[in-house]
Structure 1
Amino acid sequence: MWPLVLLVLVPLPAFADALVATRLIRATEVVRAGDVAVQRGQLPGVASDPVQVVGLEARVAIYPGRPLRLADLAPAAVIERNETVTMLYRQGGLTIRSEGRALGRAALGDTVTVMNLASRQSVQGRVTSFGQVDVGPTTTP
């Protein structure tokens, strides 16, 4: 007679790699490759590959040994608050260029409010490159 073997399937937690900070990463600081290390663990919402986080900016302070949550990171800002920027208005063949002052921080593709230095009027525009904001009808995503 053959012995009866009963196989019981018990769900086990899935272990995956998680990234943790190797040093204090202050808010608005860009994450570099040496700032993260891979650690084994079960952590939902945490980055698992350095490619996911290198070059992003921390939204909050991340302390050494703490996991890097994707919600705590964002694209790096290319325009700082109070920075002088070039505003471009384009419609058809017309292009108007003016200087303005950014009233907030913004990354590429973000919308930012800019005060025109000549007229003191505030307008919103989309960041298209370092120090350049498109205003007017071309600002729709």
Structure 2
Amino acid sequence: MKALVLLIALMPGAALAGGLGAARTLPAGSVIGAGDLTVIDTDRPGLTDPSAAIGMQTRITIYEGRPLHANMLQAPRVVGRNEIVRLSFQRGGLRIDTEGRAMSDGAAGDMIRVMNMGSRSTVTAQVMSDGTLAVMN
């Protein structure tokens, strides 16, 4: 039996590689911090660089000890669907600020549809890192 275990351990491709795993159960929507990661032995390919995961938001619930994959993570959402946001339009010296309702979630840099609360018209705006939206038309 010991010989069989030793033989399997020495076989090429059978060795476990180190990867990143969840140090605790991370609910969907959690922003990952350094304390949420641990190094695990796994034969599944996944993330190995902590900087690729820290600051990202989970798309799904990731259970403790499970390896992290890039498709489980997304850029943190700054604006939520149906959230009331500040909508800005600027062209030259003209600046118009009003309230809008986000029609979808958005991370910084995303283009999303927003309903102007005053006119009830829908425009496309870019999500800024501070949570405001800039109309690009």
Task: Report the RMSD for the aligned CA atoms in angstroms.
Answer: 1.8
Whose radius of gyration is greater, 1 or 2? 1
CA displacement at 1:127 relative to structure 2:
0.5
Give the structure 2 partner of residue 25 of structure 1: 26
Give the structure 2 partner of residue 130 of structure 1: 130
Give the structure 2 partner of residue 55 of structure 1: 55
Q: Distance in 1 between matches of 2:39 and 2:22?
A: 9
CA displacement at 1:37 relative to structure 2:
0.4
Give the structure 2 partner of residue 84 of structure 1: 84
Post-superposition Cα deviations, 1:66-119, rounded to whole Å, max 9, x if no partner, equal 111011101101111222211111223322111111122111001121111111
Q: Distance in 1 between matches of 2:35 and 2:77?
A: 20
CA contact (8 A) 2:47 2:69 kept: yes
Q: Distance in 1 between matches of 2:77 and 2:136?
A: 22
CA contact (8 A) 1:18 1:67 kept: yes
Post-superposition Cα deviations, 1:109-135, rounded to whole Å, max 9, x if no partner, equal 011211111111111111012221111
Instruction: State the secondary structure of the residue aligned to 2:18.
Output: strand
Identical counterparts, % of pairs: 39
Which 4+ stretches in 1 moved above 6 angstroms?
Answer: none
CA displacement at 1:15 relative to structure 2:
5.6
Give the structure 2 partner of residue 114 of structure 1: 114
Give the structure 2 partner of residue 6 of structure 1: none
CA contact (8 A) 1:98 1:116 kept: yes
CA contact (8 A) 1:21 1:65 kept: yes
Where does structure 1 lack aligned partners over 5 or more consecutive residues?
A: 1-10
Post-superposition Cα deviations, 1:5-60, rounded to whole Å, max 9, x if no partner, equal xxxxxx9337642101121111111112111101233432x111222101100011
Where does structure 2 lack aligned partners over 5 or more consecutive residues?
A: 1-10
